[in-house]
Structure 1
Amino acid sequence: MKKLFVLLCAVLALSLLLTACGDKPEDAAPSESDVPAASIPTDPEEIKAHNEEIDEASINLIQFDTPAAGTKVATIKTSAGDIKIALYDKEAPKAVENWIALAEKGYYNGLKFYEVIPTVRISTGDPENSGNGGESSFDSGKFADEYSLNLWHFNGAVAMNNNGVSDANDSKFYIIQNNGISEELGQEMIDGGFPTKVIDKYLEVGGVPNYDFKDTVFGQVIEGMDVVEQIASAARDEQNKPSEDITIDSITIETL
């Protein structure tokens, strides 16, 4: 695990650059939980200490399990079609609480997808439609959240978009759209000490490990990845804004 903090520093720097430039990453680089949630590491020493403590045997990749009874599920109705996501309130309690509170009061209704990057992500949740706006449902404003070693930025993951600032989560969120990573990146992850089961899952389903240990994953698409792919492939301008508006019509929450 000792090499992992070096790799993560590199991929996090790359992801920040890519977010600013709006380009595709080069091969996109990283239940109820038995794993305690932890604060997001913010510097190399914290990342190193964190990675050296990872117990691979305790990681449960719940994103691809059939949602259990009691799971909260959201249906996001968009102008391009419906996307259904499972929410992990035990893994990312603050993110889910904030997101549901905003959804239930209609905050997201009518908002646009302000950024679409094929094989990376689609982003929404900003009334300013710029990626710089947004608000939280918490009285104290923007919030920090725990992240879980059971949740990763696999294809279809739903995560907070805080522009790289761990305590600046608000209404903005994105959905990962990337159905494959290269064997070369997989080898880099092996060399960097990523847990084997996580690497194997990335190689199987794809995703964007650049964002791991940076943004909080709080959900997973369980229906409608074709809609996510359609949105991601929409015509866009130089700032990655869709040439024609793609909007959220409504969000409904149910409990299985």
Structure 2
Amino acid sequence: MKNSKKIISVLLAVMMAAASAFSMAGCSGDNNETTSTDESAQTTTESATNEDGATEEATYDPADLDEVAEVVGKSYKEDTEHDYGYQLEMPEVGETIAIIHTSMGDISLRLFPENAPNTVNNFIELAKAGKYDNTIFHRVIDDFMIQGGDFENGDGTGGSTYNDEILEDEFCDKLLNLRGAVAMANSGRDTNGSQFFINQAGPENIDWDALQKQWEYMYEGLSMYHAQGVADYFAGMYGSYCYNPESVPEEVKELYNQYGGNPTLDGAYNAVDRGHTVFAQVFEGMDVVDAIAAVETDSETNKPYDDVIVTSVEITTYQG
């Protein structure tokens, strides 16, 4: 393929730069607004060496993100009934809630069946069947998240849906991976099972400038692949890095700046339909989440040295 050498070499550079930007986004304490540049709106031109050894210029127009969305099958719900941040409101009396009883205390969750109906139903059915009883939080990373729900293997490699069927992602523009949001763990698009995690990151790590820089690098790579007709391949390989801050409303940025969380996990604002379905929000017990996040863990596996046990998940109604 005439441009294969160019694509590989340029993509490697793009990936290295994106990894650097992603690292900055996760470690920086700055809280800045997104700064757009003209770089992502310019045609990308790179030098390449063809099969005869001659140097040539390969030009790629910036990818039309609507076209890319159609190619990769991007899908999310636009909720017109609720305001941004509604997930932070207390549940109403009589509303169905979940209480995660753990060896370190209780964590109470408000559920969102109106925007993630299949995911909420899956969680409720697993809880009622006792699948979460005596499981552990097998992956704990302070200032990021705590993850559990693998009732089969207890190490992140197992945990099916309640009916063993495929559970598709249910992204929504109004449900965000804010601090305290509960989302589905997955290994790629539409690979949800029983595992879930609770976002625990604070606002000090939100850096919109770094996220913008990461997106500009990824947009370049996406444009090259889209020009070759293989944007779906790019999405499969690097989709988790394709969070697009330019598509994020200011109200969403303000929520992250105030409350913290992990914005790059929001599927609704990912250019190639990658992310994690938010289906619940902690409304009581974040002190327990923080305590779990602070336990000592194995540096390689992020598994707590001393098991943090989910004794049961209770499905009940909120009494006020």
Q: CA RMSD in A?
A: 3.4
Q: Relative to structure 1, is the Cα distance of residues 106 and 55 closer, same or farther in structure 2, using a 3 angstrom cutoff?
A: closer
CA distance in 2, matches of 1:173, 1:144: 14
Superposed CA offset, 1:119-172 (max 9, x none): 100000113122111111125x23103221110000000000012x12111100
Kept after mapping to 1: 8 A contact 2:27/2:205: no
Structure 2 counterpart SS, 1:155: coil
Structure 2 counterpart SS, 1:170: coil
1:227 to 2:251 alignment: no
Structure 2 counterpart SS, 1:67: coil
Matched ranges for 1:44-55 at <5 A: 45-46=68-69
CA distance in 2, matches of 1:107, 1:188: 37
Instruction: Give unmatched runs, 5+ long, in structure 1.
Output: 1-8, 19-23, 31-42
Superposed CA offset, 1:98-139 (max 9, x none): 000000111000001100000100000113122111111125
Structure 2 counterpart SS, 1:147: coil
Q: What corresponds to 2:27 in structure 1?
A: 26
Kept after mapping to 1: 8 A contact 2:297/2:305: yes
Matched ranges for 1:1-256 at <5 A: 25-27=26-28, 45-46=68-69, 59-127=83-151, 128-139=153-164, 141-163=165-187, 165-182=188-205, 184-185=207-208, 188=211, 192-213=246-267, 214-237=275-298, 238-256=300-318
62-71 or 104-113, which deviates more? 62-71
Alpha-carbon offset, residue 191 of structure 1: 6.1
Structure 2 counterpart SS, 1:146: coil
Q: Relative to structure 1, is the Cα distance of residues 91 and 70 closer, same or farther in structure 2, using a 3 angstrom cutoff?
A: farther
CA distance in 2, matches of 1:82, 1:91: 25
Kept after mapping to 2: 8 A contact 1:181/1:207: no
Kept after mapping to 1: 8 A contact 2:140/2:302: yes
Query: If you compute each CA radius of gyration, which structure gives the higher value, 1 or 2?
Result: 2
TM-score of the aligned structures, taking structure 1 as reference length: 0.77
Kept after mapping to 2: 8 A contact 1:59/1:149: no
Identity of matched residues, %: 34
CA distance in 1, matches of 2:301, 2:211: 30
- Counterpart residue type for residue 228 of structure 1: V
Q: What corresponds to 1:33 in structure 2?
A: none
Kept after mapping to 2: 8 A contact 1:83/1:223: yes
Runs of 4+ in 1 over 6 A off after TM superposition: 47-51, 53-58
CA distance in 2, matches of 1:91, 1:56: 11
- Counterpart residue type for residue 140 of structure 2: V
CA distance in 2, matches of 1:90, 1:242: 34
Q: What corresponds to 2:217 in structure 1?
A: none
Instruction: Give unmatched runs, 5+ long, in structure 2.
Output: 1-13, 35-65, 213-243, 268-274
Kept after mapping to 1: 8 A contact 2:26/2:205: no
CA distance in 2, matches of 1:87, 1:251: 13
CA distance in 2, matches of 1:46, 1:61: 26
Q: Relative to structure 1, is the Cα distance of residues 54 and 192 closer, same or farther in structure 2, using a 3 angstrom cutoff?
A: farther
